[in-house]
Amino acid sequence: MIKSCIFCNEKVIYNKFFYKERQDLAERFKNILDVSLKIFTCENCQFSYCPDVSKKDLDKFYAEFYINKIERNQNRFVEFNSRFFTQVNYYINHCKLNKGLRILEVGPNQQGILPSIKIFQNKVTYFYYDQIDINSKHDDVHKLGSYWDPHKDKLPEIDLIWMSHSLEHIHPLDLDQTIKSFYNALAKNGRIFIEIPNDIANLEFLLPHVLFFKKEGLIKLFQNHGFKVVAISSINEKNDTIEKNKPTKISDENNNSNFFLKTYLFIQKFLPDRLVKKFAFSHFVKNGPYTSLPIIRMIVEK
């Protein structure tokens, strides 16, 4: 079936990718996560999207999903969380974390990027919006709201926008206005850090993801909005030799590491800082990036 692209008006197709049912959430959210929704692919824009999902349903999903997700056993030295620590390392390999930086994080969940940024730059002002409150003992942390509507709400002036696994959740009808608002809110040479799962390389399409990019489409989108690309990397793509040689018994591995993690989270409470910090850091170094799934990282600049 052919339809016009909501971004560029070119003819697009919608039978290239299909949503898969989520084993974990299908029962709980069966009225919201409708896998018969179509994913459109535009060869001109070079990305795929699901425009017909209702914004109301998505909001309902997020509101319910996060309510019961508060973890009791929190890791000490959360700044070494390998997702956020590797992201900040990636960022400082390409850009400076200047004193006085005003940072906006989109959907940090309970932790977000702030603790890892604080290792390298303590003097920052941090803004965020999310349905839940972040767990933070730092100063100068400002929640802008639980939801931000790019068509109505204004942002403060910002130097850096952090989007870790949030871009793929933005409703396609809000995408253009969101990037425009980000551009306008950013100071001169302001930057955006983006990390998204590479669902196209992984051939896994799950709601509530509604935007799907390859590197090319992501670059084109941000260039069209006036940004220049500072860095882009595709990590763990399927044709990676490391990936090919990996054992396929993923479920066993996960069970073992879950057990290990739970034991660790319990024991760490009774150990001295010195030992826990050493362990948290060496565990990260040994294990490298936090995931073996394909992801894309990008930094763009105004």
The residue among 3 and 278 lying less far from Zn ion, judged by its C-beta, is 3
Cβ at position 57, least distance to Zn ion in Å:
24
CB of 54 vs Zn ion, minimal distance in Å: 22
Q: Is 164 exposed, middle or buried (0-12, 13-18, 19+ CB in 10 A)?
A: buried
**Least distance in angstroms from the C-beta of 42 to Zn ion:** 3
User: Considering beta carbons, is residue 43 or 149 the nearer one to Zn ion?
Assistant: 43
Q: Alpha-carbon distance 221 to 300, whole Å?
A: 11
Report the nearest approach of Zn ion to the CB of residue 221 (Å): 10
The closest of 229, 225, 212, 232 to 298, measured between CA atoms, is: 232
Q: Are the C-beta atoms of residues 165 and 196 closer than 8 Å to each other?
A: yes
Nearest to Zn ion of 51, 294 (CB atom) = 51
* Residue 47 beta carbon to Zn ion: minimum distance, rounded to whole angstroms: 8
Q: What angle do CA 107, 112, 113 make, to 5 degrees?
A: 120
Report the sign of the C-alpha dihedral through residues 214, 220, 225, 229, in that order. Answer: positive
| Alpha-carbon gap, residue 197 to 178, rounded angstroms | 19
- Closest to Zn ion by CB, 51 vs 107, is 51
Residue at token pair 């800082």: 273
Cα 180 from Cα 199, distance rounded (Å): 25
Residue 4 or 73 having the CB closest to Zn ion: 4
Closer of 10 and 133 to Zn ion (Cβ): 10
Least separation in angstroms between residue 224's CB and Zn ion is 11
Query: Which positions lie near Zn ion, rule CB under 5 A?
Result: 5, 7-8, 10, 42, 44-45
- Compare residues 8 and 203 and give the one whose CB is closer to Zn ion: 8
Least distance in angstroms from the C-beta of 11 to Zn ion: 9
Name which of 174, 129, 162 is nearest 147 in CA terms: 129
CA torsion angle for 201, 204, 205, 211 (degrees, to 10)? -30
**Which residues sit opposite 129 in a β-bridge?**
106, 145
